[in-house]
């Protein structure tokens, strides 16, 4: 459902990249915004994400359209920022190379994405080596697109919160949610560790915790959250520019020189091996990385980040106000880094202008009811 009146006062629970983007957009629209975060900014999945911004990982035409618009929103947002802004420094659009599979599966994926309207194309090892000369053992073929990018989720979250505060939003870090408050069949606020807050709408941007919070007020939102692991190496001179999605490891280089690496998304992940330790799996990723970048000396693990990735049961975003409980608005998705700027805008349009985007038509949480 769409809210029946324009929201003037909003309470956002969750200080990750989704909640912070919504706070910025809503405060910019003139809404009185309060954001509550139990820990620190980006303490959850936002700082434990690989950070790939893409439309390549789209399993349907609708999802591709949403992700393509998200990339457009990213680029428009960055164009509006000064060249020295944190947002521009921590975000890079240089393309991606993908070969989690080979042969007919890769070709079929490329064809499907092309039919959606993606500018992706299949390239061979020679062109790969021209694009990334420092990556050893190039694949016989891979999917290449100049469209994709990457962002540092923790830095971008803090930037969004700073922008929200500059527009008048109140950002309360260390304020945890005790329970949602209801009156006359509607959510009207929250009881927090720092007191009671009332609002026209309560927006849950609580990532992996969303199912439990929603269930506390009778809203069914099944999720299949996944534990994940991201490893950062020591900073090294620039050696790669693309996001590399190989068949055994994903890796990219951050603007500060660190190599960020993680498991492949289609299988063989840390979460698929319950007896693996974070330290052991991290060493295995470093071994794989060294094979891919043999010319880089003294690569070592600097930090390992563990987190839980929020994933609605069917894998797609859940965005909207449940028909059974007006006043509560849910926003949860696996692809927070990619979708954050767009969702901030679309949620604000729905709650302030009472206009729900067609891009969200298949992603209402009521599909689980």
SS (H, E, C) 55-115: CCCCCCHHHHHHHHHHHHHHHHHHHCCCCCCHHHHCEECCCEEECCCCCHHHHHHHHHHHH
pLDDT for 276 equals 75
- Give the rounded distance of the alpha carbon of 166 from its chain centre: 23
Q: Could you tell me what percent of the chain has a pLDDT over 70?
A: 95
- On the question of pLDDT at 159 being above 80, the answer is yes
pLDDT for 106 equals 96
- Residue 64 to residue 9: CA distance in whole angstroms: 33
Counting every residue written for the chain, the total comes to: 369
- On the question of pLDDT at 358 being above 50, the answer is yes
Q: Could you tell me what percent of the chain has a pLDDT over 90?
A: 90
Burial of residue 16, with CB atoms counted within 10 A of its CB: 0-12 exposed, 13-18 middle, 19 or more buried: buried
pLDDT for 228 equals 86
- On the question of pLDDT at 266 being above 50, the answer is no
- On the question of pLDDT at 274 being above 70, the answer is no
Enumerate domains of the chain plus CATH numbers: 9-47+154-223+313-368 (3.50.50.60), 96-146+226-308 (3.30.9.10)
- On the question of pLDDT at 233 being above 90, the answer is yes
Sheet holding 195-198, edge to edge: 177-183, 186-192, 195-198
The pairing of strands 250-253 and 243-245 is: antiparallel
- On the question of pLDDT at 1 being above 60, the answer is no
How many CB atoms lie under 10 A from the CB of residue 25?
Answer: 26
Query: pLDDT tens digits, residue range 38-83?
Result: 999 888 888 889 999 999 999 999 999 999 999 999 999 999 999 9
- On the question of pLDDT at 2 being above 50, the answer is no
- Residue 283 to residue 60: CA distance in whole angstroms: 35
């Amino acid at each position: 459902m769409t809210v029946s009146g324009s929201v003037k006062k909003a309470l956002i629970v969750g200080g990750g990249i989704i909640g912070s983007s919504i706070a910025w957009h809503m405060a910019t629209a003139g809404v009185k915004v309060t954001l509550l975060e139990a820990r620190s900014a980006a303490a959850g999945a936002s700082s434990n994400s690989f950070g790939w911004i893409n439309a390549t990982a789209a399993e349907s035409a609708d999802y591709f359209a949403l992700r393509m618009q998200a990339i457009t929103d990213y680029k428009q947002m960055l164009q509006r920022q000064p060249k020295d802004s944190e947002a521009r420094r921590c975000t890079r659009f240089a393309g991606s190379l993908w070969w989690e599979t080979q042969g007919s599966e890769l070709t079929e994926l490329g064809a499907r994405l092309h039919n959606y309207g993606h500018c992706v194309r299949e390239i061979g090892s020679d062109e790969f080596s021209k694009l990334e000369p420092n990556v050893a053992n190039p694949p016989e073929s891979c999917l290449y697109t100049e469209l994709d990018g990457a962002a540092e989720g923790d830095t971008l979250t803090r930037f969004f919160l700073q922008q929200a505060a500059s527009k008048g939003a109140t950002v309360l870090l260390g304020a945890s949610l005790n329970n949602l408050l209801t009156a006359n069949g509607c959510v009207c606020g929250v009881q927090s560790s720092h007191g009671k807050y009332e609002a026209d709408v309560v927006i849950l941007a609580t990532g992996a915790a969303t199912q439990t919070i929603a269930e506390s007020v009778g809203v069914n939102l099944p999720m299949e959250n996944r534990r994940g692991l991201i490893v950062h190496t020591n900073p090294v001179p620039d050696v790669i520019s693309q996001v590399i999605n190989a068949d055994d490891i994903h890796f990219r280089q951050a603007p500060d020189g660190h190599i960020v690496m993680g498991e492949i998304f289609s299988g063989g992940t840390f979460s698929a091996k319950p007896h693996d330790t974070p330290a052991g799996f991290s060493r295995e990723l470093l071994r794989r990385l060294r094979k891919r970048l043999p010319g880089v000396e003294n690569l070592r693990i600097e930090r390992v980040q563990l987190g839980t990735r929020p994933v609605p049961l069917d894998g797609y975003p859940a965005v909207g106000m449940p028909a059974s409980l007006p006043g509560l608005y849910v926003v949860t998705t696996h692809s927070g880094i990619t979708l954050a700027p767009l969702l901030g805008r679309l949620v604000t349009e729905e709650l302030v202008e009472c206009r729900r985007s067609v891009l969200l038509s298949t992603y209402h949480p009521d599909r689980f009811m």
